[in-house]
Structure formats: C-alpha cells, structure tokens
Chain A
Amino acid sequence: MELKTKIHADEGKSDLTITREFDLPVELVFRAHVEPDLFEQWMSHEYGTVRVVKFEPKKHGGWEFETAGADGTVMFSANGTIHEFVPDKKITRTFEMDGSPFDVQLEFLDFDGLSAETSRLTIHSIYRSVELRDQMLKLPFATGLSMAHDRLQTVVAKLI
C-alpha cells in the first residue's frame, strides 16, 4: 500500500516537503486548519491536549497554540505570524517553538482540490540551515525515545 503521507527531504538542503492526500473536500481540510475547535481536536494526542491561544486568520495576523499534559501543565507551545491567507487555497506562515533554541521556520501550506471529495495538502517548510532542518527531522525520533522511556518508567514505577 502506498503511504498516504510523504516526506521529501533532499540531502544537504535546508527545506522539506510534506504531502498528504485526503478523502475530504478541500474546504474541509482547510477548515480543519483554521477553526480552533477542529484544530484542537486533530492536533491533540494521547500525551497532550492542544489549545489554540490565538488565531488571527489574515495577513499579518498572529497565531499561538499550546499543548498541556494530563495534569494541565503546558509542555509545548508555538507561535507565528500569517503572511498570506487565501481561503481554501493557501496559508503562508512562520512557525516558532517557544523556549527552544531553534530558529523560526517559514511554511507554505497549499490546499488543492483533486475532485469534489478528495484533496491534497502540501506543506513546504524552509529552515535557516541544513543542520536545523536535519535536527527538526530527527526530533520525533528523539522524542519518541524519551516518551518510550517515560512509559517504561511509569510501568516500572507501578511494579515497585
């Protein structure tokens, strides 16, 4: 089976492209990105609940969201500015992780309708350096490790 989400990252380049095809009309994929309530639903996961703090869907508008753990502590937050906002077509924005040493990245989100019921989202992310891009690519790999560690600790703690 072909993978639904594709990552294209050339060796030695400072950008990457994420492509995904959806069994959804393009309007709904776009709406999932701009309605805080919907965005919170699909961005939340078993380790954290996402809350949209600010979202101004317009040129020069700002956005902010945070992820809180089971006890309500904010574990992660990010922010950025919207540079272009074309409903059902395009969002150009910056993305910055708060309290991290990583420089801001530039993201182009292109929404394409393929048919009445299918669509494609392409996210082109540009980083300040090759090293930074590679670090970001490896981040889930690294956090996956620490999460596995945490889970192990929880299991072990129950045994003691």
Chain B
Amino acid sequence: MNLRRDVFQAIADPTRRAILVLVASQSMTAGAIASNFDTARPTVSKHLQILTECELLDQEQKGREVVYSLNPKKMKEIADFIEPFRKMWDERFNKLEAVMKKYKQGK
C-alpha cells in the first residue's frame, strides 16, 4: 500500500526541515543540497522525493541535473514554518506567567 504523504509528516523530519531552510534562500541542485549533509546521497534523494511528493518542493530538469526550489504556495499553506517562532515565545511567556505567579505568592 502506498501511504499518502502529508505535509506535516514531511516537515516532522529534521533533515527535511533543514532541506527546506536551505532551498528557501535559493534553488539548488540535488547534489548541492546533499553536500550540506553528512547523510548518504540516496538518503537525501529519498527526502527530496518525499518533499516533492507533498508539493513542498518544485522540481525542474536543467540539463543533467534536477533543480529544486521551494513551492511558496504550499509553504504558505503551512503556517507551521513560523510555528517554532510562535512556540518559542509561547514557552517564554508560559515561564513568565509561572515565575510571576510564584513571585505574587511570595509577596
């Protein structure tokens, strides 16, 4: 059975998130992307395949190489790109609330 890929599954993996960050600034060939990781090339290819399947990456054949770029439409769909930013602030503010509640009691 071929499991349907979904974007959340795709961005759950740290290597795939790292690939998205890389490609976010400029289009890159598979080779250039792979050179940023210690992981074996076939593993990176597999990640690229998954990201392409769920339309987070666009593929374009240029000569002998395939160039990958970010599909901004799909990325916009998942506001999750900024989710870690929101989470960072949320965790900070949760802590602020805890610290100040304790402070209030101690007064």
To the question of whether A and B form a pair in one complex, the answer is: yes
**Interface set of A (CB-CB < 8 Å, partner B):** 3-7, 9, 11, 18, 20, 22-24, 28-29, 31-32, 38, 41-43, 45, 121, 136-142, 144-145, 148-149
Identify which of residues 80-107 in chain B touch chain A, using a CB-to-CB cut-off of 8 Å.
81-101, 103-104
* B85 adjacent to A28 (CB under 8 Å): no
Distance, CA A32 to CA B96, complexed state (A):
7
- Name 12 interchain pairs, CB-CB below 8 A, sorted by A: A4-B93, A4-B94, A5-B86, A7-B86, A28-B100, A29-B96, A42-B92, A45-B91, A138-B81, A140-B87, A141-B83, A148-B14
Which of A18, A23, A31, A144 interacts with B97 by CB under 8 Å?
A23
Do A18 and B21 touch (CB < 8 A)?
no
Chain A contacts for B21, CB-based, 8 A? 138, 141-142, 145
Known: A145-B17, A145-B18. A7 touches B85 (CB 8 A): yes
Residue numbers in B under 8 Å from A149 (CB-CB): 14
Whether A24 and B104, one on each chain, are in contact in the complex, defined by CB atoms closer than 8 angstroms, is yes
Interface centre among B81, B83, B103 (most CB of A within 10 A): B103
Contact A28 B104 (CB under 8 A): yes
Known contacts A5-B89, A149-B14: A140-B96 contact under CB 8 Å: no
What is the distance, in angstroms, from B73's C-beta to the closest C-beta of chain A?
11
In the assembled complex, B76 has its CB within 8 A of some CB on chain A: yes
For the complex, is B24 an interface residue (Cβ under 8 Å from A)? yes
Min Cβ gap B11→A in Å is 9
Residues of B close to A45: CB separation below 8 A:
91, 95
Question: Which residue of B has the minimal Cβ distance to A149?
Answer: B14
